Amino acid sequence: MNPVKQDLSNRKDDIEKELEELFQSNMKRVDWDVPEADDQKAAEILMDILEKKLSEIKQDVADGKYKYY
């Protein structure tokens, strides 16, 4: 296994946990800011936001933006 793949494989659980924590912390903020919020709808909107940004990052990677990061 190459060193980059090994490093990311070793940190996979941490990366996934950070992503889940980002989602959960934003869900909590919605509840604090909008007490009567529809949590299901908030989760769907938040997923759309995260997926859109991940798609943008994916395109940046494909375009070579991070080749010499």
Domain ranges of the chain: 3-62
DSSP state of 21: H
Residues 36-53 have a mean pLDDT of 97
CA atoms of 29 and 37, how far apart (whole Å): 11
Q: What's the rounded Cα separation, in Å, for the pair 40 and 35?
A: 13
What is the tens place of the pLDDT at every residue in 11-25? 999 999 999 999 999
Place of tokens 């980002």: 22
CA 12 to CA 3: how far, in whole Å?
14
Asked if 39 and 31 touch (Cβ cutoff 8 Å), the reply is yes
Q: How confident is the model at residue 1 (pLDDT cuts 50, 70, 90)?
A: confident
